[in-house]
Structure 1
Amino acid sequence: MAGKKDNQQLTFQYTELAIYGVLFLALVAAVFVLNINLSDESRRDSEQIFCATKQQEYWGRAYRSLLKTQTTLAEYELIMGDSTQLELAEQKRAIIDSSFHLYRRSIEVFDGTVKALDKGGKITLEGVEYKIDAVQDERARKYIMDIAGRWYPRADSLIGIAHQYEGTRKLNPDMLLAAIDFAVQNDELILADNRDFIVKLGELATERQNRLQTIQVIALVASIVVFALMAVRLTISLRRQAKVIQESQSQLVQSEKMASLGQMVAGLAHEMNTPLGFVRNNVEIIRENEKEMQAAFHSANTVLKDLVEGKYSEVEKAIPEAIKKLDELEKIGIVEENKMMIESALQGIDRIQELIVNLKNFSRLDQSMMQMADVNECLDSTLVIANHILKRHVTVHKEYAQLPKILCAPAQLNQVFLNLITNAAHAIEKKGQGNLWIKTYMSTKAAEIVVQVSDDGTGIPKEIINKIFDPFFTTKPVGQGTGMGLSISKKIIEEGHKGRIEVKSVVGKGTDFFIYLPMKTEVKEEKVFESVPAIN
């Protein structure tokens, strides 16, 4: 009965944790969905504002061209009968042709922008095609409808006069006068509606963004609360289980604790730091993606701010870049990538939490400080830890030079050394028996210490040697490695110690790794790769 009750309690606890996990993932997913919506709506608003700005610009061009045509036509009619001014008359005629050509192009673009904002569609501006969504919000749409209400009844005649002239080079005085009357009477009204529309759209976009951001904050806070509850419940559950095990097997655990210490230390790099590796990698990817998202949102907000302040020339320069950034976010799928990275990181955190509970009584290796240390001593301590994988089939040869102490992070260097030694042991194991050479010496070309780790194992094929430092690249079977070992080693050496790592290999003969560490002797209180993932 007791066993059945324990099983029921365990099932209930797991169910509760599963519910918390689903809620947490749902809230995180909701935040990403909101980000997608915000990105889409920001893109749409930017395109509509861009279209409205162009509408204002091309209406002004058409209006000015029409007035210039009227003035030049009057001058032309005064001199057209004078044979002494034929050259001047031809000049005036050329000006009329140019003005009416510009008028036709401008009025057609203006007509396209009105239709695009009213009904949606594609417009071509300066050789570039844009797809514009129809304005849906009634508070902004009323301004577009005011412009459309004035324009649609006269659109055919105002466009038609341009086509008629280009076909015949003759102007209907009544049609020209009617077009000018319409332009004069409606110029200020159209421009005012256009300005009011841009301002209103900016206000609506800001209002919508503030509302979505509020919802995001609420969802994030809720997800944090759910995650905290889940962590508390998981911790309580694990502690209860640990207590039961401790009560029933305390003597066995105590007797085996020291015997398994060596194995635990060796496994710490694989079992604990490996998930830390891809958690850190995922977080870095998310951070870089977030910078791109913030840059896009900043560009959009800058456009809206300039529009509200009436800086239309700045708007025209900034809008294409803002649209480009928003389209790039949508094209490369940053939001979905972040979602995948978080889900993967959560799996790694779950693995780490389980390991921490089981290894809580042993030393932590997830922090390192820069200090003066002897590289030879680091190598010796690493060989002690790795002895259980070397002693059966590997003969170790050490050739250490007398080296000064250097400024480094010993624990992190140990991780690099352990990774290289472990990889060498595995390569030798495939051949049965072999040798491992570990050498240290001073570089003859620069103020550097060189650590050489060589083996006579199977070697690395040429087609993959350039990939071995790539994250997640591994030749090991599924479940035996994540492919982060050499990638993280490279980061520790190059980014943490400003050194470099190189490799040479011949298939069937062996592999040589060279680590170059600069001779730093200035002691600084700084951390190197805090919580660096373990070497695989």
Structure 2
Amino acid sequence: MRVSLAWKWVIASLIIESLMLTLMVLKNVNQLETNLSTQTNIRLDEQKILLKSALIAPIVQMDYATINAILNETKKIPTVDYLAVLDNQNNCISSVGWDSCKNLPKKEDNPFSKKSLKDERFDTNIPISLFSEPLGKVYLGLSTKFYIQAKKEMITRSIIIALMELILSAILLIAISKWITKNLVKLTHSANAIAHGDYSQRINLGDSIETLELQESFNLMAKNIEKSILDLKHLNKKEKKLFQELKSQVEKNHEQDILLKHQSRMAIIGEMLNNIAHQWRQPLNAITVQMSGLKLRKELNLIEENEIENTSDSVMKYASYLSNTIDDFRDYIKDYSSKKKYFNIETSLNKAIDIVSASLKNNYINLQIVHSKDELLVNGVINELTQVFINILNNSKDILNENDVKEKVIVINFSKEDNKITITIQDNAGGVQDNIIDKIFDPYFTTKYKSQGTGIGLYMSAKIIHEHFSGEILVKNENIDFNDKTYIGAKFFIILPI
């Protein structure tokens, strides 16, 4: 439960005042006890003197009637409970208010001791003597009821006065606290209004120096908050606009990526069809020659025994080769969207070589592979890396033909060290011109004729290596030795993390 600052101040003040009033009442009670004790002792001393002077003669004369009369007269005093006179032999002479002087109580020192207050009586005795000759004792019991009554009345009056003081103090303190905290209440209401969106709130706390400074500081803060909120709203509008523009650009880039992938796919399929044509040309020519020869020999009746069977076996062999070629290309297309898994890099390269080998042979390109002693495993989609190999090998083939290199070679090397695998693919076609070497991975950049290149093969290769394998791809111009000659060629570096 939360309590306001004003009520905390009122409660604290009342608690302090209650403690002070309690201490005051206790002090007054102690003072009452002291005063009454003093007065009682004075009266007791006076009573002792009167009783001594009144009883000496009757005791000496053995005038019991006078002694009894004196005791009865003294008993009329309201504070006297009993009186008893004993001679010097402790024989009972007379008693009033006590039964035959039997079991008279012992003398007490303090009329307000616990025992005196408990039995509401102060017991004492007065020795009576004449010329230092003891005559007897007077036992006297004084009532303490008057003190108990006075104490109760005083405590009651003090409590009533204290309660009245507390009530009046509470009323005064509440009024003062309201007056003191009114500006704080105004400040709180204004702060709450600002917190709920009303930034136009301003306060007026009066003309005192302290409240004026607080008023100016708060109003300045509110003004700055209002300005900052307006600036934030304006900035938020700009950010929303920028977000929409970025979203539009991202969607546009996404569409462009899809288009590039599609174009790359079409380019790969085009290359595949070209490679299929290279793969099929020799077997089809062989089948055509054998079937034509068989037909001619039949017309001339020159067919020998088993010749048809041998020709049929040869044709079936070439047909099986053609079927296997189709299976290789179909598997490449089918596995393109497979999920990531660990595979051997050299397996991916072999798939690429199966596809482009015929084209390389038809263009008289020598392919050299330097294998690694280690097993080269990476996590990814195998046909994506196969596509990268095909793109680079086709690029090397085209540039070797374009530059009309007599002795053509492509060298592929594998190496593994630390936590990475490095693959290099280098040709001897003369390298990449320095002014375009930094652009060959850009989309739609090509040095070929428009009818021969799309400019997306190397771009898609870089994208696959960077995004799908978290690797790097770069190209440098380096020397290469082949058949005792030194050439310059483009050397592609593919660096893949393990």
Q: TM-score normalised to the size of structure 2?
A: 0.37
Higher helix content, 1 or 2: 1
More relative contact order, 1 or 2 (CA 8 Å, 6+ apart): 1
Between Structure 1 and Structure 2, whose CA radius of gyration is higher?
2
Higher strand content, 1 or 2: 2
Q: TM-score normalised to the size of structure 1?
A: 0.35
